Amino acid sequence: MQVEIISIGNELVQGAVNTDAAFIAEALYSIGLTVDRIVNVPDKPKQLENQLSESFKKSNIVITTGGLGPTFDDITRATVSKVLGRKLVFSREIMESIARHFVDRNIEMPKENECQAYLLEGAKPIPNKVGTAPGMLLEHSGKLVAIILPGPPHEMEPMFKNTVIPFLRERYEREFIKQSVIQTAGILESALAAKIDDVVHRRRPRGEAEVDFGLLARPGIVTVRVAVHSKNELLAEETLRRVRKELYNLLDKDIFGEGAYTLEETAGSLLIQKKKTVGVAESCTGGLVASRLTNVPGSSLYFKQGIVAYSDEAKIKMLGVSEALLKKSGAVSMEVAREMAEGCKRIAAVDFALGITGIAGPGGGSPKKPVGLVYIAIATPKETYVEEKRFVGQRGQIKEQTANCAIDMLRRTLLSL
């Protein structure tokens, strides 16, 4: 079984990062299909033709992304048609769904989009609920499955998940890979590696399936990936269950969730479960914490209010921070973080409030208060806690670490209730 991904786009050979292929490779891996090769080629008909000829000959599953748009540089449809010797056939049904896309938006359909209503002869369309280009799924000559997808990730990803994965899962019965992706916050990668060293390097007892571990660090968050392989599904599940249990015992509250679960989802479900509400007063994160918390569907149940108090005046007027304190301690101080959190809790009439102040840089630092110095306060029904943090990195990374740390403080506080 040979599996290939071909990503098409000039930008991909000129410096853009290919996230589509990474997404697809990960999704295939999770159903036991390993990708043998990922190829990026530019929007050049001759090059794409050569690549497709070679790959269609060699591989059993070929997945392409990109080049299905309505414009001059979108060459995938025509090139696949040529290489496989299958005509492009107009589909009235798809034309109607494209037209509806524009009607829904109250926009006249540009003539350019018509070309997207053509399908390879014999291909099943893969519905695209976000954009206008449908994908195509084609079983060719008994041996090859060609899957043609658009490039924009927000279009491609749901199409892949909802249509392609179920199709492949049914068609190919593979070795079982059971995996857990355990998400942690508030612990460094090296400290985490030391904590779980025993589990990773200990010889697994006979009769257990093969186990792979992987760590991935992002600012403020470390992911532990455990993958168990076996032809015996029950054995794989049982081994994974045992390893997970060992990791949970060791990491305990450092774990905030599994899979694609986010810190804000965990905090959100704790708030719902404990029937509590939250508000946020932000300076250096500039609204990022509120935006993250409200990324969660249904967050209006517990998120009441956010205040981005960037200027001193805003801190005074909106949050009731004392002018004298701002003068004495400065806007970036433990005391101001505390007053921001307490002010927000009072004004928004919530159970918990975060107060965040710091220096995201690149300007504004000093030897005593360097870029990356951040104070995060959490006001609870009983008392207020403040933490001092020193983060490093660019402005965006400091904002991200601060947001992760603040949401994690909220999570840990809720856990300890």
Give the whole-angstrom CA distance, residue 89 versus residue 241: 50
For the residues of 343-389, what is the DSSP string, one character each?
HHHHHHT-SEEEEEEE--SSSS--SSS-TTEEEEEEE-SS-EEEEEE
397 binds a copy of itself (CB under 8 A): yes
Element (H, E) at 191: helix 189-201
Of residues 36, 208, 237, 246, which one binds a copy of itself by CB under 8 A?
36
Window 231 to 270, contacts with a copy of itself (CB under 8 A): none
Which one of 162, 232, 273, 311 is in contact with a copy of itself (CB under 8 A)? 311
The interface region with a copy of itself, picked from 43-51, 82-90, 162-170, 239-247 by CB under 8 A, is: 43-51
Question: Which residue has tokens 């497709």?
Answer: 52
Name the DSSP class of 70.
S
14 binds a copy of itself (CB under 8 A): yes
Measured from the CB atom, the residue of 242 and 395 that comes closer to a copy of itself is 395
Quick one: tokens of 306? 């956010």
Q: Which C-beta is closer to a copy of itself: that of 128 or that of 413?
A: 128
**Would you give the binding string for a copy of itself spanning residues 57-96, x where CB under 8 A is met?**
------------xxxxx-----------------------
Q: Please report how close the Cβ of residue 238 comes to a copy of itself at its closest, in angstroms.
A: 22
Tokens representing 327 are: 């003068």
To the nearest whole angstrom, how small is the minimum distance from the Cβ of residue 364 to a copy of itself? 8
- Separation between Cα atoms, residue 310 and residue 285, nearest integer Å: 9
Name the residue nearer to a copy of itself (CB basis): 122 or 259: 259
Determine, following the binding rule CB under 8 A, whether residue 219 of this chain makes contact with a copy of itself.
Answer: yes
Return the number of the residue (201 or 382) whose C-beta is nearest a copy of itself. Answer: 201
Among 39, 84, 137, 405, binds a copy of itself (CB under 8 A): 39
Which sign, positive or negative, has the C-alpha torsion 357, 358, 361, 366?
positive
Looking at 16-24, 87-95, 231-239, 250-258, which segment touches a copy of itself (CB under 8 A)? 16-24
Whole-angstrom distance, CA of residue 215 vs CA of residue 213: 7
Which of 82, 86, 124, 395 contacts a copy of itself by CB under 8 A? 395
Residue carrying structure tokens 């990324």: 295
Output 207 or 363, the one with its CB closest to a copy of itself. Answer: 363
Query: Among 28-36, 79-87, 243-251, 404-412, which window interacts with a copy of itself (CB under 8 A)?
Result: 28-36
189 binds a copy of itself (CB under 8 A): yes
Q: Does position 16 bind a copy of itself by CB under 8 A?
A: yes
**Parallel, antiparallel or unpaired: strands 352-358 and 373-379:** antiparallel
Near a copy of itself by CB under 8 A: residue from 8, 18, 119, 240? 18
Nearer to a copy of itself, 88 or 318 (CB): 318
Q: How far is the CB of 26 from a copy of itself (least distance, A)?
A: 3
Alpha carbons 49 and 64: distance in angstroms, whole number:
12
Residue 86 is which amino acid? Answer: R
Binder of a copy of itself out of 45, 80, 121, 154 (CB under 8 A): 154
Decide whether 193 or 325 has the Cβ nearer to a copy of itself. Answer: 193
Task: Report the alpha-carbon distance of residue 305 to residue 73 in Å, rounded.
Answer: 46
- Would you state the structure tokens that stand for residue 285, as one six-digit string? 């994160």
Under rule CB under 8 A, which residues in 108-127 are in contact with a copy of itself? 110-113
Cα separation of 52 and 44, whole Å?
A: 12
Question: Which residue type does 139 have?
Answer: E
Listing DSSP states for 221-246 in one string gives: EEEEEEEEEES-HHHHHHHHHHHHHH
Instruction: Identify the helix (H) or strand (E) that includes residue 200.
Output: helix 189-201
State the number of binding residues for a copy of itself (CB under 8 A): 111
Q: Which helix (H) or strand (E) holds 4?
A: strand 3-8
Site for a copy of itself in 326-385 (CB under 8 A): 347-349, 361-363
From the list 174, 304, 346, 369, which residue makes contact with a copy of itself (rule: CB under 8 A)?
A: 304
For a copy of itself, the closer of residues 41 and 209 by Cβ is 41
Shortest distance, CB of residue 190 to a copy of itself, whole angstroms?
4
With CB under 8 A as the contact rule, the residue among 85, 104, 141, 275 that binds a copy of itself is 104
Q: Are 148 and 64 in contact (CB under 8 A)?
A: yes
Interface with a copy of itself in residues 280-299 (CB under 8 A): 280, 282, 285-291, 293-295, 297-299
Q: How far apart are CA 145 and CA 87, in angstroms?
A: 17
The Cα 25–Cα 216 span in angstroms is 17
Whether 40 and 17 have beta carbons less than 8 Å apart is answered as no
